[in-house]
Amino acid sequence: MDFKIGDVVVLKSGGPKMTVSEFPIKMIDGSENYTQVKCRWFNEDNHLMHNSFYIDELEKQN
């Protein structure tokens, strides 16, 4: 699946809507990681959270 910055995604197992913040992920050595996506979302306390997820764990929302 191809992701782009700004796409809205969710985990296939459920959870909050998240926004793609980086894809592909830039590695320290300058290479690009196409297996994971960095996402941001707000938790139930309205705090901004972020994490990386494998592309197979995510699905795009319309």
The answer to whether residue 1 sits within a structural domain is no
What integer pLDDT is reported at residue 1 of this predicted model?
Answer: 74
How far apart are the C-alpha atoms of 50 and 43, rounded to whole Å? 10
From first to last of its 62 residues, the chain has per-residue pLDDT tens of: 789 999 999 999 999 999 999 999 999 999 999 999 999 999 999 999 999 999 999 999 97
Residue 36 maps to a domain = yes
What pTM, to 2 d.p., does this model score? 0.91
Place of tokens 């690009």: 32
Q: Which domain holds residue 40?
A: 8-60
Residue 49 lies in a domain: yes
Whether residue 3 lies inside any domain: the answer is no
In a domain, 33, yes or no: yes
In a domain, 2, yes or no: no
- Give every strand in the sheet of 8-11, ordered side by side: 48-54, 36-42, 18-22, 8-11, 58-60
Q: How many domains does the chain have?
A: 1
